[in-house]
Structure 1
Amino acid sequence: MTRVAFLGLGHMGLPMALNLIKAGHEVRGFDVMPAAVDAASAAGVPIAQFGVDAVAGAEVVITMFPAGRHVISAYQDELLGAADPGTLFIECSTIAVDEARTAHALAVEAGHRNVDAPVSGGVVGAENGTLAFMVGGSDEDFATALPLLEVMGKRIVHCGGPGLGQAAKVCNNMILGVSQIAVAEAFVLGERLGLEHQALFDVVSQASGQCWAITTNCPVPGPVPTSPANRDYRPGFAGALMAKDLGLALQAIEGTGTEARMGRLAQEIYAEFAAGAGAGRDFSGIITDIRDAS
């Protein structure tokens, strides 16, 4: 049994914390949002009154925050100072590579350990304990984090040193954003050519165009019953979050001088989507904007 502080009990964090509890770990949770606290408490997560109370005495601190500024602010303002010496901080938020490295440096300077471990797999993966974790940090710290990550995920990859988990995540989500747009465009084109959705799915899902964006996140109702398209595009993974992640990709593209025209265009498309109806819809709902614009 490991004593775990879990900060950030939203749509992803809550089921992750619950899986740790089910596995026999001692978890204390905290969130700044009252609604998240109420949901977590109702689900059976012990709640600390303040973040510092959750962290005190914990062997491992897991954070799942909206953005890098929240991570760095929380580390600097209270969490690192409240933790016992040598505490392992597992940062599961999706943040910029340089922010992950800053968080790592702050943790080490304060006498702690740190890995960045962003996730892929969405709410369903969090609920089922089948997330993918991309981990950056030392071999020793990865080994310490691994048993907990294996409770919450199915595939855990050590990507290298500090920040490289976030590097893998930003590359993965750039691919995902680009492919989801391509799949949506293909279905709109198929509609206008007279193809039934099921017929196009049956071909592409078993042909060279096969990808996660069609076999799991198919953007039209019917072919994949569990896809968000069958529940009015309720997320899932919201368009606003994809826009955020592609913004991180754009930051990395520009910072490295990489020629990535498709990544840049995907970021522009999802930024427009998130500014409109897509903020609270699944990112596969981009198909509605493509239909309307055509």
Structure 2
Amino acid sequence: MRASSIPASSLRQSLRSAVAGPTSRRTFATQSRLQASYGFIGLGRMGYPMAKNLRTKIPSSDTMFIHDVNPTICEKFASEHKGVTVVEDVRAIAENVETILTVLPEPHHVQNVFQQMLRPPTLLTDAPIKQERLFIDCSTIDVRSSAEVAEATHSTGQGKFIDAPMSGGVVGASNGTLTFMMGAPPELVDRANAILSLMGKRVVHLGAQTSGLKGKLANNYLLALTNIATCEAMNMGVTWGLDAKALADMINTATGKCWPSEVNNPVPGVVPTAPASNGYEGGFGTELMLKDLKLAMQAAAEQGIIPELGIHAKDIYQAVENDAELKGRDFSVVYRYFGGKNTDKLKGLNGQ
């Protein structure tokens, strides 16, 4: 089921008003609760491998419910893994499981999904479970929207909500090596850590709810800038006649070393596993980098912070997204925007 978009400010009000309104009970939740139960909503490029790692690492007796707006993806996942139930709407997940993970693209997606899960506010009577529901949102959204969804969850008494965005990209999601930045009260840390550790190698508790998002946005703001700086520096060196790999090797043993220079180098052929060496396919799309950069700048502005470098960086990423030949590629394609000419222009971008 696709959710219609709703204003963020109306989420809590609509949920509270539902308490006094008519309710409907579902008969979907009838199974035994002797084993643990999990729900996963959002099987995109990150969510799919995360859900795969979760299903693989939890006991076979545990149950797992999944949902995505693309039913074909759900059926594919279910065909590859035992102990998976595909549901057509997210309310069925909320009714049947104790731990619900969401990995969604935009704030309105998160808000719409939670409105559907929490209405009517009768989860505690619709499907008794062994322990209090825990909603873990791994989406990267704005701080204000996350706080509002958390308040809606807690105020209706139907569970606890924490934010746990991740870093590590599609490769990290596939390999189970993600880093999760968690915003949660102390009493939920151990429980959440045990779950998130099944999908990543490190979980960092940064403080109360929204702290995980704040940490993620600060990290990705820095990543957005260091990527641009790396692309410019590599373009300078190659244009000056330096060998790209030799230049990168030097940088990575000197003070300029950073993740974009060492792991995600923007010059094709320097790092064989980097998206640049695969036509800039895969990896972290420029559109997503631009989204995170804007979210970080928005959160900064709300605190009276002027992100000086981010203003220009945003223009660069937007220009890349407006370029038909560069749009949709890994964000290291900024190197091509600057005119990287270590190979024929755009060679390899389209498999040529």
Give the alignment's TM-score, normalised by structure 1.
0.94
Q: Contact (CA 8 Å) 2:176, 2:198: kept in 1 or not?
A: yes
Provide the secondary structure at the position in 1 that maps to 2:234: helix
Distance 1:164 1:46 in 2: 33
The aligned counterpart of 1:201 is 248
> CA RMSD, aligned part only?
1.8
- The answer to whether residue 151 in structure 2 is matched with residue 105 in structure 1 is yes
Aligned to 1:285: 333
Superposed counterparts of 1:10-29, under 5 Å: 10-24=44-58, 25-29=62-66
What corresponds to 1:136 in structure 2?
183
How far did 1:69 drift? 1.2
Partner of 1:77: 116
Q: Does 1:34 align with 2:81?
A: no
What's the TM-score, normalizing by structure 2? Answer: 0.79
Determine the structure 1 residue equivalent to 2:139.
93
- Code of the residue aligned with 1:61 in structure 2: it is I
In the TM superposition, residue 192 of structure 1 has moved relative to its aligned partner by 1.3
Give the C-alpha shift of residue 272 in structure 1: 2.1
> What is aligned with 1:46?
85
Question: Does the 8 A contact of 1:243 with 1:270 survive in 2?
Answer: yes
2:103 equivalent to 1:55: no
Measure, in 2, the Cα distance between the counterparts of 1:83 and 1:119. 31
* Runs of 5+ unmatched residues, structure 2: 1-34, 125-131, 342-352
**Mean Cα deviation higher: 135-144 or 71-80:** 71-80
Separation in structure 2 between the aligned mates of residue 27 and residue 82 of structure 1, nearest angstrom: 22
For the residue of structure 1 that corresponds to 2:202, the secondary structure is strand
Query: Separation in 1 of the partners of 2:118 and 2:228?
Result: 39
Shift of 1:2: 3.0
Aligned counterparts of 1:279 and 1:235: Cα–Cα separation in 2: 13
Alpha-carbon distance in structure 1 between the residues aligned to 2:273 and 2:287: 21
Percentage of matched positions with identical amino acids? 38
State how far apart, in whole Å, the 1-side matches of 2:263 and 2:119 are. 39
Distance 2:88 2:39 in 1: 12
Tell me which residue corresponds to 2:300.
253
User: For residues 226 and 255 of structure 2, what CA distance do their matches in structure 1 show?
Assistant: 13
Alignment partner of 1:46: what SS? Answer: strand
Alignment of 1:274 onto 2:313: no
Which structure's CA Rg is the greater one?
Answer: 2
Is the aligned partner of 1:169 residue 2:216? yes
Q: Which moved more, 1:262-271 or 1:130-139?
A: 262-271
Question: How far 1:175 sits from its partner (Å)?
Answer: 0.4
Aligned to 1:264: 311
In 2: Cα distance, 1:80 partner to 1:161 partner:
25
Q: Which whole-Å CA distance do the structure 2 matches of 1:79 and 1:121 have between them?
A: 30
Aligned position for 2:104: 65
Give the drift of 1:169.
Answer: 0.6
Q: Report the more deviating stretch, 70-79 or 155-164.
A: 70-79
Q: Which amino acid aligns with 1:159?
A: L
Q: Matches of residues 211-250 of structure 1 in structure 2 within 5 Å?
A: 211-250=258-297
- Which one is further off, 284-293 or 233-242? 284-293
- Aligned amino acid, residue 286 of structure 1: V
SS of match in other structure, 1:280 = coil
Q: Take 1:67 and 1:279, find their aligned partners in 2: how far apart are those partners?
A: 19
Counterpart-to-counterpart distance in 2, 1:13 and 1:119 = 11
Structure 1 residue 41, shift from structure 2 partner: 2.9
After superposition, residues 172-183 of structure 1 pair within 5 angstroms as 172-183=219-230
SS of 1:168's equivalent in the other structure is helix
Q: Which runs of 5+ in 1 are unaligned?
A: none
More helix as a share of residues:
1
Q: For 1:155, what is the secondary structure of its paired residue?
A: strand
Match of 1:154, SS state, is strand
What code does the residue aligned with 2:42 have? G
